[in-house]
Amino acid sequence: MSRKKIIRYTETIFDSAYLCTVLMTGVYILVTAKSAGHVLFGIMALILVSGDLCHLAPRIALSFCGNTQRFLQALGTGKMIASVSMTLFYVFLWHIGILSFSPSGAAGLTIPVYLVAAIRVVLTLLPQNRWGQDASPARWHIYRNVPFILLGCAVGFLFFIYRHSGVAHLRWMWLAILLSFAFYIPVVLGARKYPALGMLMLPKSCVYVWIITMGL
């Protein structure tokens, strides 16, 4: 078996385990939810797994088929859906922070978060991204991720400043968010030139599992 096939099969096993773990955790959190925060965690997990399924299912199929052109449109559409779902993921995470810490002026703080999230979604849906084509414009890859990074910074900062608030299970949420973007940003900036950087999405996925399990 070639090295390329081994990598693809390993990625397939990892992706399948990741999707199942997040799905089961999300369902469990919803079934056993005892507060609005737990409900948000469960919904957030289902949003995450739904978006990633749209992106990862074509990749898993590609691992067995090997015909990139056949799945090009599905891969592009899946990436677009995953981009939108990740934006919603952080919006829900923001509201979990608001519910947990009750910061003063929460409504005013939420407005710019919604604004940045909306900009991210609009930029993601614009046809200039050329989803489903061999070479989408690199500049649009940057454009749509700038507001996403700003969104992540806002959510991460909220959890950082309230890390000692007494909500023990959320104490390290800020670190998980920081790590997720530390793994993601090199992929955004350099994966086109250095495809091996795409492997950073694996530890990024592990970080998302960590984030979801904080809601247990």
Check residue 164 and give its pLDDT. 93
pLDDT band at 31 (very low <50, low <70, confident <90, very high): very high
DSSP string for residues in 160-176: HHTTTSS-GGGTTHHHH
Per the structure, the count of domains in the chain is 1
Q: Distance (Å, rounded) from C-alpha 62 to C-alpha 205?
A: 20
List, for residues 90-122, the tens digit of each pLDDT value: 999 999 999 999 999 888 999 999 999 999 999
Q: Distance (Å, rounded) from C-alpha 39 to C-alpha 57?
A: 26
List, for residues 164-191, the tens digit of each pLDDT value: 998 999 999 999 999 999 999 999 888 8
pLDDT at 24 over 70: yes
Q: What is the dihedral of CA 109, 111, 113, 114, to 10 degrees?
A: 160
- For the chain, give the percent of residues with pLDDT over 90: 70
Query: How far, CA to CA in Å, does 104 sit from each of 107, 192, 211?
Result: 9, 43, 25
Q: What is the CATH number of the domain that holds 165?
A: 1.20.1070
Q: For the chain, give the longest Cα–Cα distance.
A: 59
Dig out the tokens for 12 from the structure. 């397939």
Structural domain that includes position 198 = 3-213
Q: DSSP 3-state assignment of 144?
A: coil
Q: Report, as an integer, the average pLDDT of 86-91.
A: 98
- For the chain, give the percent of residues with pLDDT over 70: 96
Task: Give residue for tokens 């005013």.
Answer: 108
Q: Distance (Å, rounded) from C-alpha 155 to C-alpha 164?
A: 16
Lowest-confidence region among 10-19, 39-48, 73-82, 189-198 = 189-198
pLDDT band at 207 (very low <50, low <70, confident <90, very high): very high
List the one residue out of 17, 148, 177 whose CA is nearest residue 85. Answer: 148
